[in-house]
Amino acid sequence: MTTSFPTRRLAPLAAALATAMAMAGAEAAPDYGGDYGLNPDPQQESVMFFAGPGFSVDNAYFFQLDRPHHALAAAVSLESGPEFSLVNSMVTLWHDADGDPFRHDGDVLLGGFDFFGTTVSQRFADLQAGSYYWRLEATTAGLHGGSLLFSSSVSAVPEPASLALMLAGLGGIGGLVRRRLAAA
């Protein structure tokens, strides 16, 4: 299922929080981009367009896992000559240590990648149950702004019993094939 990232219903609250943190001298947190909830849909996508040069993007997209999952993220800057381009484009995956999407102290960086005019992706294996977020950062450098495409997905890690059942089934099929070949 392909969907857009959730709308920014909490954008005014996030903006007020970011302003308060800046006034207090705290490190600025990313904008709250949405919450996928528990075990998000298999795939989430977002296309973003930004007007004007020098516009900075710093969004976070949260999700929770109740059991181990693998995650995959891909991003590309949709370059169009000097008119539309991005610089300092980066996607990172963070483990949200305290489960609070508005506090980022103690969070653990799990990895990430830079992206420019080509599609770049990274797989994150065996994420354990807990709270996570993708952080998407970029700055427009084009005369008219910039644009990007970001996509992420998660898939459940098979449980040992499911994996054993699958291997037993493959072994059974292999045995049938060997018997038929021996009989022929």
For the chain, give the DSSP string: ---BPPP-TTHHHHHHHHHHHHHTTPPPPPEEEEEEEES--SEEEEEEEEESTT-EEEEEEEEEESS-EEEEEEEEE--BTBTB-EEEEEEEEEE-TTS-TT--TT-EEEEEEE-SSS-EEEEEEEEPSEEEEEEEEEEE-SSSEEEEEEEEEEEEPPPHHHHHHHHHHHHHHHHHHHHHHHH-
CATH number at residue 152: 2.60.120.380
Please give the chain's pLDDT, 184 residues, in tens: 333 334 344 344 334 433 333 333 334 556 555 555 554 554 566 777 777 888 888 888 888 888 888 888 888 888 777 888 888 999 999 999 887 777 777 899 999 999 877 788 899 998 998 889 888 899 988 888 888 888 888 877 766 666 566 677 777 777 777 777 777 7
| Tally of structural domains, the chain | 1
In-domain check, residue 170:
no
In-domain check, residue 163:
no
Domain that holds residue 115: 11-157
